[in-house]
Amino acid sequence: MSERIAYLFGFIALSVSLGMGQTSALSLRFPAKVEAGTAFSVPTTGSGTATVYIVGPGDAIRRKVQLGENLAFGPEDLHNAGHYVVFVDGSSTQDTQFDVVASHQPATLSFLAKPSRLSVNRPEGISGVVYVFDAFRNLVLQQEPVSFELADSTGRTQSRSATTRDGVAWVKMNSAAKAGPAQFQAVAGNVREKRVIQQVPGDPCAIRMTARGAGKKERIALETEPVRDCNGNPVPDGTIVTFTETYQGGQSTVDVPLKRGVARTELPVRNGAVISVAAGVVMGNEIHWSGGL
């Protein structure tokens, strides 16, 4: 039994000494943080050569190093930000880890502006989200100021500023009262990204129609005034306007799309009829038709 215990201790001692092995005098002092894409060097101690492995999800490097000399890395060697682990072949005791961090200088912005089209006068209807990346497509995790500007078709602007947190900044903006394309831009450092937000008129605010003889026997010509939203923007062509004629014993309805801002139609003459007009949920005026043509 005592013989076996002695054998066990001997085996453990041998394993430890093998683990310490030829590189027991080796020391590698990596900086705790390195900026992506910068050159740096790591002093080594000891004698002979060793193989150094630097691995992480962002890169894999293997180098033969002459111990006692500097282990040099060029700007192109480590440019993906992340956490890296250093292994030295033959030394299981060497435990070195370091971070490659993104450059502080923004180089590209991933700018998501939504929606691409919305109606005018919507409070906080537009959202802008910016992810800030450096020249190596690393997310810049340090705080960065980002300014947002939304300029409507008349040139009036809204500005907001935000600071990134974990690489992202966001804002919400109001859509303008004036319809038309708005320029939405985000700026971080020297980088700017632009998006276009189409601001379209809202629902019709009021509708007014007039009636007259159509020139044909027993027909009435109906025509709306230009249909506008509550901010005075012309409602887009194609918006459906509904004319309804209610008479004793029945009802006739005609749906007409707006064309050049107005809707026109003809209805049969029926004495005592009430003619109404509507678009969506908005009702217009009524005409009581009691006369002949």
Partner 1 sequence: MRIRFSIPLALVVISTLLAAFLFGDAKPSVRVAPIDLVEPRPVETQTQASVVRDYLKAWETLGSAMSENRADLLDGYFVGVAKDKLTDTIHEQQKLGIETDYRGLSHALQVVFYSPEGLSIQLADNVEYEVDVRDHGKAVGTQRVRTRYVAVLTPTESKWKVRVFQSGDRTN
10 Å Cβ neighbour count for 253? 11
List strands edge to edge, sheet with 49-56: 33-35, 91-101, 82-88, 49-56, 59-66
* CB closer to partner 1, 103 vs 138: 138
* CB closer to partner 1, 88 vs 279: 88
* CB closer to partner 1, 71 vs 277: 71
User: Least separation, in Å, of the C-beta of 34 and partner 1?
Assistant: 12
10 Å Cβ neighbour count for 70? 12
- Identify the DSSP state of 177: S
User: Least separation, in Å, of the C-beta of 131 and partner 1?
Assistant: 7
Residues 6+ apart with CB under 8 A from 6: none
Question: Which residues in this chain contact partner 1 in the complex, by CB under 8 A?
Answer: 4, 7-8, 11, 33, 51, 53, 55-62, 80-83, 85, 87-89, 91-92, 94-95, 97, 99, 101-102, 112, 114-115, 127, 129, 131, 133, 137-139, 141, 165-168, 170, 172
User: Least separation, in Å, of the C-beta of 168 and partner 1?
Assistant: 5
**Helix, strand, coil tally for the chain in percent (to 5):** 10, 55, 35
The answer to whether residues 103 and 134 touch, using CB atoms and an 8 Å cutoff, is yes
User: Least separation, in Å, of the C-beta of 177 and partner 1?
Assistant: 22
What is the distance between the alpha carbons of residues 264 and 221, in angstroms, rounded to a whole number? Answer: 7
Would you list the DSSP string of 182-240?
EEEEEEETTEEEEEEEEEE--SEEE--EEEEE-SSTTEEEEEEPPPEETTSPBPPTT-E
User: Least separation, in Å, of the C-beta of 221 and partner 1?
Assistant: 46
User: Least separation, in Å, of the C-beta of 66 and partner 1?
Assistant: 19
* CB closer to partner 1, 8 vs 196: 8
* CB closer to partner 1, 103 vs 233: 103
In the chain, the N- to C-terminal Cα span, in Å, equals 126
* CB closer to partner 1, 63 vs 212: 63
Would you list the DSSP string of 58-71?
TEEEEEEEETTSEE
* CB closer to partner 1, 25 vs 85: 85
User: Least separation, in Å, of the C-beta of 202 and partner 1?
Assistant: 21
User: Least separation, in Å, of the C-beta of 28 and partner 1?
Assistant: 13
* CB closer to partner 1, 40 vs 136: 136
The answer to whether residues 61 and 104 touch, using CB atoms and an 8 Å cutoff, is no
The pairing of beta strand 82-88 with beta strand 91-101: antiparallel
